[in-house]
Amino acid sequence: MSEQSLPMMRINSVLFTIVFFGLTFVFAVICAVLALIPGRKPMMSGLWVYTKIIRFLMEVMLDIHVEVRGKDKLPQNEAFIIAAKHQSYGDGIIMFSEFFDLSFVTGDHLEKFTLLKTILRKAGAVVVDSCGGPDVHEKMTREAERVKRERRRLLIYPEGHLSQIGTQHRYRKGVYHMYKDFGCPVVPAATNLGQRWNQSDWRKYPGQAAIRFLDPIPPGLDKDAFMARLETEIETHSRAMLDMDNLGALNPADIGKTVENDVARAKREAREAQASHIDGSIVLNRGAKS
């Protein structure tokens, strides 16, 4: 990229960010109104149109072109789970632009916005604590049967958080519980979109990006085998897709790092402290009885 193009790239990034959040608010209102209409189709149509528009603007304003590969690998005429790498606000937009009616698992942080909460409920989203917890499995199990019964596709980001391009978070086991409860295939999905639109950053980088659907993982694996295969498939292919000739937001030193954000760390440490306290109480009670 030439030096002369950098100012224009920054201007386009700012303009796109303004338009993106403006359209997001407008369509949130539209979809909230559509949610009042019986059935899911009207509101899901609104979401689909919104993602198509944003994807178009990514191309014309930012020169970001996203190729979706491997759709021929997706199971036909049955429910399945898409377990995808999550590096960008753009990930979900591209996914929804490819599938008209897609169920999804999302973090509870979105429910603090009233309009989004209305939309999530109408869309049948599975809203869980992004950092895990004792009620997550139960909630996922309850929702899994409903989604499977309706023969819908379910999108989940097994890391539970946006990851800095090149890095990964610890994979949450909720995806395994849904895989087990569904009794249906899980399709891993790799991506390098974070190089062009990293997490929620305002600055965008022109170039090619891709989302790639990988070979489905068939039902029946135990937890350790499933989690190891899923993580290996997603992370290996996502790293292989990195464009080393046009780095964009990628810092090569970050490739392969496992990170944990402050919120996830605080919740994990709180759970571990609580578990340690319970274990200690059990030991003391046993000692007192003896």
Distance between start and end Cα atoms, the chain: 74
Q: How far apart are CA 248 and CA 245, in angstroms?
A: 9
What's the rounded Cα separation, in Å, for the pair 195 and 173? 27
The CB density around residue 152, as the number of other CB atoms within 10 Å, is 17
Rounded to whole angstroms, what are the CA distances from 240 to 95, 220, 260?
A: 20, 28, 22
Our measurement of the distance from residue 237's CA atom to the centroid of its chain's CA atoms, rounded to an integer in Å, reads: 16
| Cα distance between residue 86 and residue 107, in whole Å | 13
* Amino acid residing at 225: A
- pLDDT tens for the chain, 290 residues long, are 444 478 888 999 999 999 999 999 999 999 989 988 888 889 899 999 999 999 999 999 999 999 999 999 998 878 889 999 999 999 999 999 998 878 887 766 555 666 677 777 777 677 665 555 555 566 666 666 766 676 778 899 999 889 999 999 999 988 898 888 888 899 999 999 999 999 999 999 999 999 999 999 999 999 999 999 999 999 999 999 999 999 999 999 999 999 876 655 565 566 566 656 555 555 455 555 55
Gyration radius from the chain CA atoms? 20
pTM of the model: 0.82
- For the chain, give every domain's residue range: 64-259
Dist CA 152 CA 103 (whole Å): 7
Euclidean distance between CA atoms 251 and 157, whole angstroms: 23
Side-chain-side CA neighbours of residue 51 (13 Å): 19
State the pLDDT at residue 101.
78
Residue with tokens 């578990």: 275
Structure tokens that stand for 172 in this block: 């949450």
Residue at token pair 């149109």: 49
